[in-house]
């Protein structure tokens, strides 16, 4: 089998309210890989909020696409190495990692379709049923909108809910967390997300103000680049730290593990150089008894969690319009059942490219 063509584009998709208060749109960089045997692979990277998506597509087209044309797509690991080493002067982070991820995801889609298996079974299945946590609680939500969203996910059976804590006053953040805690009751546990907004001392103060809520985790406390500071926070506060959505390679995650900087790791398959590297990260975490809860794109992430013994949860952000994909996995009783469709199981809906294409 040979790769005969790769068509890429950027899709701009509006988000629903109230999420649109913080992010009016999302962008996906899509890569469709064709082969001489008629088996095609779909890969895509969600660029959250859309910033830089056009640069991702440009790097994919000009630097990575030529590496794959004419190659056997089933040599996924070999092609991953070639893409990773295509430009040794550019670290595979940010733009380059998003681009590589989209292509790696597409290659694995071909591998699964060729084998006639969903990816989680191709990788050695642990479970076909993956628990989800509701995610949102953005800073611009009113208290009413915040509670309504949390209750929406609880009504779908989600036993965990994560919200943002972005107010400069830690007491205001604690007030909003307490409001949601009371609304959800004891049947739902909560997490909070700092989104890299505080320094070490600010996080210590904020975490102290939240101790009473028995939080599952305290997410991304400091700049993702500063692993030493993340470790300092993790050692100083009583709430377990989660991080990893803005870390890109197994080497960064190795440093997080060695510094004991997190109790939960959160690789994003669209940032962490695709399924290939995400699975390496997950298996490394397993060797250290660290749970993995991938960041966003639950429709792809559930393949990873379904294949890892230390897979914990997938993040469920209910934003996707019904005309973007042929079928999105549905959340029932707080879980996603992994489809038996070969590959990752996702396909763009008819007319989606024409409706949402922006480049």
| pLDDT tens per residue, range 222-241 | 999 999 999 999 999 999 99
Closest CA to 183 of 150, 134, 135: 150
| pLDDT tens per residue, range 136-166 | 999 999 999 999 999 999 999 999 999 999 9
| pLDDT tens per residue, range 170-183 | 999 999 999 999 99
Closest CA to 124 of 315, 334, 283: 283
Contacts of 45 (CB under 8 A, 6+ apart): 28, 29, 56, 98, 99, 101, 102, 105, 270, 271
| pLDDT tens per residue, range 198-226 | 999 999 999 999 999 999 999 999 999 99
pLDDT at 359 over 80: no
| pLDDT tens per residue, range 40-96 | 999 999 999 999 999 999 999 999 999 999 999 999 999 999 999 999 999 999 999
Closest CA to 10 of 56, 42, 48, 41: 56
Closest CA to 57 of 71, 70, 44: 44
Sheet holding 25-35, edge to edge: 3-14, 25-35, 41-47
| pLDDT tens per residue, range 303-353 | 999 999 999 999 999 999 999 999 999 999 999 999 999 999 999 999 999
Contacts of 182 (CB under 8 A, 6+ apart): none
pLDDT at 351: 97
1 within 8 A of 348, measured Cβ to Cβ: no
358 pLDDT band (50/70/90 cuts)?
confident
H/E run at residue 142: none
The overall average pLDDT reported for the chain is 97
131: left (phi over 0), alpha (psi -120 to 50) or beta: beta
102 within 8 A of 270, measured Cβ to Cβ: yes
Q: How far is residue 11's CA from residue 357's CA, in Å, rounded to a whole number?
A: 4
Question: CA dihedral in degrees (279, 281, 284, 289; nearest 10)?
Answer: -100
Q: Tokens 């100083």 appear where?
A: 236
Taking residues 186-193, report their average pLDDT. 97
Give the up-direction half-sphere exposure of residue 329: CA atoms within 13 A in the CB hemisphere. 30
Find the farthest-apart pair of alpha carbons in the chain and give their distance in angstroms, rounded.
Answer: 61
Kindly state the tokens that stand for 172: 């205001």
Burial tier of 253 (Cβ tally within 10 Å: 0-12, 13-18, 19+): buried
Q: How far is residue 354's CA from residue 334's CA, in Å, rounded to a whole number?
A: 33
């Amino acid at each position: 089998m040979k790769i005969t063509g790769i068509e890429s584009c950027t899709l701009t998709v509006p988000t629903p309210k109230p999420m649109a208060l913080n992010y009016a749109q999302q962008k996906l960089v899509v890569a469709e890989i064709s082969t001489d045997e008629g088996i095609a692979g779909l890969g895509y990277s969600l660029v959250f909020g859309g910033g830089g998506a056009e640069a991702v597509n440009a790097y994919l087209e000009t630097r990575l696409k030529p590496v794959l044309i004419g190659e056997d797509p089933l040599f996924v690991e070999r092609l991953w190495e070639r893409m990773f080493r295509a430009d040794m002067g550019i670290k595979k982070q940010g733009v380059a990692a998003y681009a590589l991820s989209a292509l790696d995801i597409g290659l694995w889609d071909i591998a699964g379709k060729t084998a006639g298996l969903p990816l989680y079974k191709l990788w050695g299945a642990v479970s076909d049923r993956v628990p989800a946590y509701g995610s949102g609680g953005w800073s611009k939500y009113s208290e009413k909108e915040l509670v309504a969203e949390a209750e929406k996910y609880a009504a779908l059976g989600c036993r965990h809910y994560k919200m943002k804590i972005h107010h400069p006053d830690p007491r205001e953040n604690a007030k909003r967390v307490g409001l949601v805690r009371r609304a959800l009751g004891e049947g739902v546990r909560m997490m909070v997300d700092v989104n890299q907004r505080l320094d070490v001392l600010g996080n210590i103060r904020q975490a102290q103000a939240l101790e009473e809520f028995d939080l599952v985790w305290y997410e991304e406390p400091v700049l993702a680049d500063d692993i030493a500071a993340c470790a300092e926070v993790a050692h100083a506060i009583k709430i377990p730290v989660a991080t990893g959505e803005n870390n890109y390679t197994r080497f960064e995650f190795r440093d997080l593990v060695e510094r004991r900087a997190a109790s939960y790791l959160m690789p994003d398959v669209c940032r962490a150089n695709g399924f290939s590297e995400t699975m390496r990260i997950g298996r490394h975490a397993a060797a250290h008894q660290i749970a993995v809860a991938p960041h966003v794109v639950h429709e792809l992430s559930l393949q990873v969690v379904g294949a890892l013994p230390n897979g914990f949860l997938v993040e469920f952000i209910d934003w996707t319009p019904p005309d973007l994909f042929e079928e999105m996995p549905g959340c029932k009783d707080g879980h996603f059942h992994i489809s038996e469709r070969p590959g990752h199981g996702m396909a763009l809906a008819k007319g989606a490219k024409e409706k949402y294409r922006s480049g």
